[in-house]
Every structure is written in C-alpha cells, then in structure tokens.
Amino acid sequence: MNQFYQSISPRLLVWKIWVALILIFLNALPAASQEKRAKVRISNAGFTITALPLLAAKDWGVFSANGLDVELIVMSPSLAAAAIAQGDIDYVAGVGPASVAATLTGLPSRAIWFSSDRISYWLQSAPPYKTIQDLKGKKIAISGGAGGTNHVALLIALEKSGVNPKDFATVGIPGQQLQVLYSLESSFVEAALLSPPHTFSAARKGFNKLLDVGAMVEMPGGGLTTLIKTIQSRPAEVKRVIHALQVAKDEVRKSKPKTVELIIRILKMDKEAAAETYDAFQTTLNPTGVPNRAGIDNLVRSLQAQGRFIDRKVALNDVADDRLATEVAKELGYKLP
C-alpha cells in the first residue's frame, strides 16, 4: 500500500503544480486585459462632421481593437485646456485656434495628429448678390466670433480672390451653423459662411455659392492635442490612439455606405444630406495625419489677427510634435515627403 502511494505521489504533485499554474494564469488574464485596454478620456467641442473619424473609431470598435477603452466627452475648447492641464482628460480631439493659443500661453501641450488639411466652408449669398464684389459693404455671418478658424479662413480666401477683406462686415452669430443659416434666410445678413450639410440646404433654397473657402486655405479641421508629458511618459498609448484614429479615417475614406449610415445615425441627417456631406468631407481629409507647417502657420495667423502673439515667431515644434504621427504613418505604409 505504501509503495502504491509512493508511486503516484510524484504524479499527484505534478498535477497539483499544473492546476496551480493554470489558476494563476487565469487569474492574471483580467489584469492583463485591463492593462491592454487603457482607459482614455478624449474631449471634443461637439459631435459634428469634423469629429467623424473620432466618432467612427468609437462606434466601429477601432479604439477597442487598439487596446483602448475610450470615453468621449463634449467640452468647449476653453474648458478643455483647463481640463487637460488638471488631468481630467487625456486628449483634446482638435487642433485649432483655442488649442494653439493655450500652448502659446504656456500650457505644455502639442498638436500630434491632423484629421483634415482644410475646413469645409462655402461663402453663400442671397439671390441678388451674384459675385463677391456685389457683397462689398454688406454683412457676412460667421459662426463664433472674430479670429476663429472659419473667420480667418474667410479673410485669407477673400485676399486670395483679389478683394480687400475690410470691404466686408463680418457678423458673429452665437450657436451652431443652423443659426448662421437662419440669419441668412431671415435677411439679417446678405451672405454667410456655411459648412455641410447647411451648404446644400442653402443652395437648394436658391442661395448662391460664391467662394469655396476651404479649398483656398490650408488649415486643420480637427485633430488631436495632448500634453508633452503624455507624449514622453506614455508614447505607446499615444501611438495607439493615433493609430486608431488614422485607421478609422481610412475606413471613412474607403467606405461611403458605412460612413453615410454613421452620419445618419449619429449626426441625425437625412440620407441625401448625409451623402452630400460625406462627399464634401472626404475631400478635406489629411491622408497621413502628420501635422504640417502650412496648417499651423494659418492657425497662428488666426490668433495674430486678434492681436495675440504678434511679437512672436512661432516654429512648428513650438506647438506641434509630429514624431509619433510620422511613425504611425510609416507603419501603415504611407509615403511621406
């Protein structure tokens, strides 16, 4: 009997060791999963067409596929600067006058990824005004106020068209683009700077399309900003966020039916408006996502138009860090200049 127990004891011991190892492995899986699925908080000024790659990455599971548990938070740009400084959010889904101004004011942050190379805006006028010259001395409605992205883009486009921007009166309209369209329809202004889908709504109602502002001005329309310490201490996570956004953007570009369905469902447009908006939006997308000098220059110009930072010569690396976006672009097979 003793010999029997002695003969099986080693096997029992080995079996117990294997069971223990398996239990240890299984218990470690949730922790490993949590480590891979990093909790990330990203703010965005509003869920508009500019935020489409961000919304697609969340809705289509691209963030999850890149090991990220992403929470999207709607937050104004002014609040986002304070929130990221305090650690309440990890990233700001945008590169614009507000984020660049925060950096130049002293926030240790950098623009790290571009969604679009330009904004999608048209200058549209009431039926009696058929040329830009017809609008001299007239009012042009813009969303927001003076010095914003769309306002500066309009000024640059007017200059490139050979007219003096000072010959026109811009009127800042509070609220969203719908309110800007209302100001045109009510004859409160003679022209307005509109983006899709309101561009198409205005055209169908007989308002003239005078100037494709977005096509004339290279300026970011969405992107990603984060703190320098995040870039330095969590580069792998930052790359995963950029990778997810870039992959989602590529899917947006390649799949119109899938993207139109997303626009209809999340941005609450009808099918016709969603399809038209998609066609306009995809022409604005930055292929590689790598921040570029021209876009940053025009953002700085938008701030200097407000009388801010006029005594500073701003270099690209003062407000942007393109290294991780460049790495991601190369890994995805993009040809870079």
Q: What is the mean pLDDT of residues 161-187?
A: 92
Rounded CA gap, 278 and 49, in Å? Answer: 9
**Least confidently predicted of 12-16, 153-157, 268-272:** 12-16
Q: What is the mean pLDDT of residues 101-115?
A: 97
| pLDDT-derived band at 146, boundaries 50, 70, 90 | confident
Q: What is the mean pLDDT of residues 114-133?
A: 94
The predicted pLDDT at position 150 comes to: 83
The predicted pLDDT at position 29 comes to: 45
Rounded CA gap, 214 and 217, in Å? Answer: 5
| pLDDT-derived band at 302, boundaries 50, 70, 90 | confident
For 42, the token pair is 């990203």
Distance of alpha carbon 180 from its chain centroid, rounded?
22
Rounded CA gap, 95 and 83, in Å? Answer: 16
Q: What is the mean pLDDT of residues 136-165?
A: 88
104, HSE (Cβ side, Cα atoms, 13 Å): 21
Rounded CA gap, 152 and 38, in Å? Answer: 38
The DSSP secondary structure of 50-107, one letter per residue, reads: GGHHHHHHHHTTHHHHTTEEEEEEE--HHHHHHHHHHTS-SEES--SHHHHHHHHHT-
The predicted pLDDT at position 21 comes to: 52
- Which DSSP helix (H) or strand (E) runs through 210? strand 208-212
The predicted pLDDT at position 298 comes to: 87
Report which listed range, 34-38, 60-64, 156-160, 294-298, is most confident. 60-64
Q: What is the mean pLDDT of residues 22-45?
A: 65
262, pLDDT greater than 70: yes
The predicted pLDDT at position 93 comes to: 95
| pLDDT-derived band at 9, boundaries 50, 70, 90 | low
Q: What is the mean pLDDT of residues 188-216?
A: 94
More confident residue, 21 or 312: 312
Task: For residue 41, count other CB atoms closer than 10 A to its CB.
Answer: 17
More confident residue, 26 or 121: 121
Task: Give the Cα-Cα-Cα angle 307, 81, 179 (nearest 5 degrees).
Answer: 70
Per-residue pLDDT tens over the stretch 54-98 = 999 999 999 999 999 999 999 988 899 999 999 999 999 989 888
For 117, the token pair is 């190379």
241, pLDDT greater than 80: yes
Q: What is the mean pLDDT of residues 4-19?
A: 48
Task: For residue 113, count other CB atoms closer than 10 A to its CB.
Answer: 33
239, pLDDT greater than 60: yes
* Residue 289, helix vs strand vs coil: coil
